[in-house]
């Protein structure tokens, strides 16, 4: 995998469902974890449950706060051997029509999902570039590639993260840093609101466990070259069709608009089973 068997991995959003699953799996593989989040008690609980818990460390920080982010970077730089891997997992979701999104929510979502990981990656690059096993894994979403009604702001933030990942991979092509992108479909985590869960059930959409997503993350980490990986079927098909024949996806999703609008506005529409639409997250 790398020239260094035991890696020091910074996982942002480690207190969430996907972040916790990634941390547990990497700890089981013998790696050293730096667990970032805003909830110290939750981070401490996750750390205590990890194999060899004494070798891991929690870093409480709000990544949208410049000073807190700078302190986190300083902590990473001061570690013996520095940091080998950055997993940009921290993120928030939003299910609402564009007309219902206020500026504060829009700014918080774009800052958390796009600006913060870009800034953190930039600031950690000098440390990462000193590692023989350096890697960056950005956790995106299928909605970064399929413009789904009700998820405009969220999808835009993840589309931006994909564009950033692609550019960074090319900028660092002559370096030792491997840059990966992982796009899950719906995942069973508390990040999903009740409305999102109800929409998924109504449309018959499938979802994955955080542990399954974590396994895909590990596969990327074990790759010798920067990769991008999309999770789920028919989501992978929809992404390809959307790239080459977007009008077909336009037509398929247009049929779902009444249902999406009702769930987004908190109404209770009749249950519908339709497996032709991509998952909601």
Q: Is 154 a catalytic residue?
A: yes
**Are the C-beta atoms of 183 and 229 separated by less than 8 Å?**
yes
Domains of the chain, first to last: 8-264 (3.40.50.720)
At 98, phi and psi to the nearest 5? -55, -40
Q: What number of other Cβ atoms are within 10 A of residue 204's Cβ?
A: 14
What is the DSSP code string of 141-177?
A: -GGGTS--TT-HHHHHHHHHHHHHHHHHHHHTTTSS-
User: Closest by alpha carbon to 139, among 190, 187, 88, 207?
Assistant: 88
CA 110 to each of CA 107, 118, 162, 233: distance values in angstroms, whole numbers, following the listed order? 5, 11, 13, 27
Catalytic residue among 143, 151, 154, 164: 154
- Average pLDDT over the chain, rounded to an integer: 91
Q: What is the pLDDT of residues 101-136, one digit of tens each?
A: 999 999 999 999 999 999 999 999 999 999 999 999
Distance (Å, whole) CA 24 – CA 111: 27
pTM of the model: 0.91
**Are the C-beta atoms of 18 and 188 separated by less than 8 Å?**
no
Higher pLDDT, 244 or 192: 244
Please give the helix or strand (H or E) that residue 32 lies within, else none. strand 32-37
pLDDT at 204 over 80: no
Q: Name 229's bridge partners.
A: 182
Q: Name 58's bridge partners.
A: 35
Q: What number of other Cβ atoms are within 10 A of residue 132's Cβ?
A: 10
Distance (Å, whole) CA 237 – CA 185: 12
**Are the C-beta atoms of 210 and 275 separated by less than 8 Å?**
no
Q: What is the pLDDT of residues 14-51, one digit of tens each?
A: 999 999 999 999 999 999 999 999 999 999 999 999 99
Q: What number of other Cβ atoms are within 10 A of residue 276's Cβ?
A: 12
Q: What is the pLDDT of residues 216-273, one digit of tens each?
A: 999 999 999 999 999 988 888 889 999 999 999 999 999 999 999 998 888 765 554 4
3-state DSSP call for residue 79?
Answer: coil
Percent of the chain with pLDDT over 90: 79
């Amino acid at each position: 995998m790398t020239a260094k068997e035991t890696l020091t991995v910074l996982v942002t959003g480690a207190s969430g469902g996907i972040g916790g699953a990634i941390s547990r799996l990497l700890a089981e593989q013998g790696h050293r974890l730096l667990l970032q989040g805003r909830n110290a008690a939750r981070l401490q609980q996750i750390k205590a449950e990890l194999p060899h818990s004494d070798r891991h460390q929690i870093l409480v920080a709000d990544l949208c706060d410049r000073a807190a982010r700078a302190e986190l970077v300083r902590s990473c730089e001061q570690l013996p051997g520095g940091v080998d891997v950055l997993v940009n997992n921290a993120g928030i979701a939003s299910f609402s029509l564009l007309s219902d999104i206020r500026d504060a929510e829009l700014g918080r979502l774009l800052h958390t999902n796009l600006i913060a990981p870009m800034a953190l990656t930039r600031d950690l690059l000098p440390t990462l570039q000193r590692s023989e096993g350096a890697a960056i894994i950005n956790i995106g979403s299928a909605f970064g590639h399929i413009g789904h009604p009700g998820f405009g702001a969220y999808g835009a933030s993840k589309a931006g993260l994909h564009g950033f990942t692609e550019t960074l991979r090319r900028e660092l092509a002559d370096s030792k840093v491997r840059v990966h992108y992982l796009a899950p479909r719906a995942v069973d985590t508390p990040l999903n609101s009740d409305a999102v869960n109800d929409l998924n059930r109504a449309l018959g959409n499938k979802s994955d466990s955080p542990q399954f997503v974590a396994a895909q993350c590990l596969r990327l980490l074990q790759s010798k070259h920067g990769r991008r990986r999309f999770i789920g079927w028919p989501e992978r098909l929809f992404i390809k069709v959307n790239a080459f024949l977007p009008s077909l996806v336009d037509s398929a999703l247009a049929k779902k608009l009444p249902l999406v609008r009702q769930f987004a506005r908190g109404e209770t529409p009749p249950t519908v089973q339709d497996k032709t639409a991509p998952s909601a997250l």
